[in-house]
Structure 1
């Protein structure tokens, strides 16, 4: 099995659930959701292996019938370490479907703690609309009375949210656990890279363990990209391509909207124009709910609003996963060269687009890092609760960093700042531009509002010209390891 990277915190959370199961002698259910390739199945398999407890791990198959799914589950159950007596597990599906199968599962659970894993749970609900109710009845009457940790996994974020919603049968019965990507510090540790390279690696991989663990330890990002441009099946291409195919299989309106955003359209108007048709831009009544679903339900897009002491517009959209974002903006075009046997042309394309793409892609990470720094008292402004950016309708100026007490309309602006993620230092000219733009941010006070610089290559400024200068090492230090 491939190496396991990061996830100490997540393993600790699940181990605590196992300890409670062992102590109390009753069951605990946990619904684990997260984007595809974020490592849900690998995390749970690692828990099963390290615990040494009996377990059954069942993964549903998309498109299978309910009868096929039940048959596959029974086969997994019979071959697992779970049943006290494998002969009690029939090979032929019972007439009652999942109701009878879950009752049978309860009958073969051991007396001590054990683990039951149902992976790709939304596909089971698709196959049998009564599955959620059957699971609820079995949990309340049978399974939950045993010392079992029931782990319910799913990549369809909306369906997993619905599983535990107040109007669904399993409401109130499962803890909710959202598994995100590795953080930049975990990426740095897994790849043994210095901070400046670790952030590039994190943007390339999106913090997805499936890509990180295939990255040769210590390999600089550009060297890795050059190597991978000779391999059309490389994970940096195949993982986002598979994710795109799984979540947006058809070239429908949602796919066009995603590709418009991935191609660089950030505003509502530009997205509407690009994703429209020959008849014109998408109407607001069509695009608004679609964007809302892609942000809230699917989590594939993120929406950023200008942060200041006055409500502002417009919102800016971006692809939430930086690996998918890089694929749509750069790697997909490079992949076409690779498939035609032109690896050097592919890498040349990546080199030409990389610096510009990275300069904007790093901004959400910088904002997150400053928020973490404020929470850890690593900033001169401990009361900062949120960090965003600010822009007006003309995007002149566009301020990278705004630290405030709340969002989207702040009562106090603690600092404004600039991100310069290039190979030359932040200098006096950049400072003059920052000062001029900062003065236009609603709520900015030259007497009390600080100035912040986050620069990949440091800063060449007079002493006390700004209140805080952070480089890659400072930024990386705020993420927990």
Structure 2
């Protein structure tokens, strides 16, 4: 099995849940946890690693999409019978005629006095197959499993569906905590690639922190070398993971897929997305709005609004939330056919030509999130959230705005800032002047508002900045 890297915090969180079971300090002996995260982010591998390290007996069952419920129940019982749970032999050959009977077998197999772990993976597919599953899970949990020292992990990739399992009125409401598994963070990527901070951030923007892709990045390999190597292999995870991820989220060609492609290739406003999908004949707002709402609920698309002391919720900007998928849609999707015919060099050349401008935009959400993780900072008092600001014409655009709150609007603008993420140029006097000019338009900004610079290649001395940040600080934010 591939060596396991990173996930220190995730493993610690799972271990704390198991410790509640071991120590018997919770309101019930059993504990349930909903584990969710984007497809291919490594949830199943994380859970397997946790189970292996735990020392507790466990069973892991992974559902199959679109399968007959009776076949799924038979497979669950077979997995249970083959597990290391003490009562596994008691359920061998016994296939329940419904989900109540099948899940009841779990309570027979788990020990009465010592901790054990039950993992049901891809729960959304079980719910899709048979609406009886949710109610049966609640009944068996309440009557049997919660009374045993068991940790129940319900795993799934459909974020909106997994969150809905906990909604008021649903059978499992109030019975489980929730854990969101994110991709590897920039500090994990740096550790795995052994790159310097600036290059590690490039690696993060390319891989998105997806473990199966990061593991292909040999320690110390430059960005250009890695890309050229991967673009010679049509089966490389760098190429394939994007399509597989989209097939899981948006299985068939549709306006949803077209909207993703439009956003991934640079369209950011509702109007330009509608126009791109309609090829000059914009799709109606009543068609596009529900699509964007669904993609946002699934955490595929993120929506940004200007951060200032006046709300402007209609001035939205859309972006692909996952850095890897953003990279894949921008550069790799249309290059797959070229790689398959042995011309990955064409894709690499095209990518290098567009890389500086693409990276300049792609780095913005990472910088904002990283700075927010570094707060509070004595140099930036009153700053608790970090966003950006723009008007309807995108002129000016201010890369960074720090404020005391985001919703419904800020009451104090703590700082404005600019990002300059170039290979050789430092942040200098001209950049400060441009920042000051743009900041004048930010509602709520006044003469006390501080100035901040973020630069890949350093900052000139003597500039009127309250603070400056570089690649080292961005990486460090993920180890704070």
TM-score, length-normalised on structure 2? 0.95
Structure 2 counterpart of 1:299: 299
Contact 2:82 2:88 in 1 (8 A): no
Give distance in 2, aligned partners of 1:277 and 1:225: 32
Displacement of 1:220 in angstroms is: 2.1
SS, match of residue 477 in structure 2: coil
Matches within 5 A, 1:21-170: 21-24=21-24, 26-86=29-89, 88-91=90-93, 93-95=95-97, 97-111=98-112, 112-170=114-172
Moved over 4 A (4+): none
The CA deviation at 1:167 is 1.3
Secondary structure of 1:76's aligned partner: helix
- For the structure 1 residues 308 and 85, does the alpha-carbon distance in structure 2 shift closer, same or farther, using more than 3 Å as the test? closer
Q: Does 1:479 align with 2:478?
A: yes
Task: Tell me by how many angstroms 1:277 deviates.
Answer: 5.6
Partner of 2:416: 416
User: Distance in 1 between the 2:45 and 2:301 partners?
Assistant: 25
The yes-or-no answer on 1:236 pairing with 2:209 is no
Instruction: Report how far residue 293 of structure 1 moved.
Output: 2.1
Query: Is contact 1:374–1:383 with CA below 8 Å preserved after alignment?
Result: no
Aligned counterparts, 1:274-353, within 5 A? 274-276=276-278, 280-295=281-296, 297-312=297-312, 313-353=314-354
Q: Does 1:406 align with 2:405?
A: yes
Distance between the aligned counterparts of 2:122 and 2:182, measured in 1?
Answer: 17
CA contact (8 A) 2:417 2:452 kept: yes
| Matched-pair contact (CA < 8 Å) for 1:334–1:347 | no
Residue in structure 2 matched with residue 465 of structure 1 by the alignment: 464
1:445 aligns with 2:422: no
State the alpha-carbon separation in 2 of the partners of residues 360 and 382 from structure 1.
27
Give the 3 Å change call, closer, same or farther, for CA 322–85 of structure 1 in structure 2.
Answer: closer
In the alignment, what sits opposite 2:247? 245
The question of whether the paired residues in 1 share the 8 Å contact of 2:402 and 2:414 is answered with yes
Q: Deviations over 1:175-223 (max 9, x none)?
A: 1111112221121122222110111111111112222223222222222
Mapped to 2, the partners of 1:382 and 1:432 lie a distance apart of 23
| 1:310-344 superposed Cα distances (whole Å, 9 cap, x missing partner) | 23352100000010011111112232221121122
What does residue 213 of structure 1 align with?
A: 215
CA contact (8 A) 2:368 2:400 kept: yes
Instruction: Determine helix, strand or coil for the equivalent of 2:4.
Output: coil
Are 2:331 and 2:347, in contact at CA under 8 Å, matched by a contact in 1? no
Distance 1:357 1:231 in 2: 24
Q: 3-state SS of the aligned residue for 1:452?
A: strand
Residue 426 of structure 1 and its aligned partner are, at CA, apart by: 1.7
Q: What are the superposed Cα offsets for residues 19-60 of structure 1, whole Å, 9 maximum, x if unpaired?
A: 111121811000011001111111110111001211000000
What is the distance in 2 between the residues matched to 1:104 and 1:74? 8
Mean CA deviation greater in 321-330 or 268-277: 268-277
Q: Quick one: distance in 1 between partners of 2:12 and 2:399?
A: 36
Following superposition, the deviation at residue 438 of structure 1 comes to 1.2
Three-state SS of the structure 2 residue aligned to 1:245 is helix
Deviation at 1:261, TM superposition (A): 0.7
Unaligned runs of 5+ in 2: none
Instruction: Report the Cα distance in structure 2 between the residues aligned to 1:305 and 1:35, rounded to whole angstroms.
Output: 23
User: Which region of structure 1 is more displaced relative to structure 2, 37-46 or 16-25?
Assistant: 16-25
SS of structure 2 residue aligned to 1:381: coil
Confirm or deny: 8 A CA contact 1:3 1:213 kept in the other structure. no
Is contact 2:77–2:105 with CA below 8 Å preserved after alignment? no
TM-score under structure 1 length normalisation: 0.95
The answer for the alignment partner of 2:270 in structure 1 is 268
Where does the alignment leave 5 or more consecutive residues of structure 1 unmatched?
none
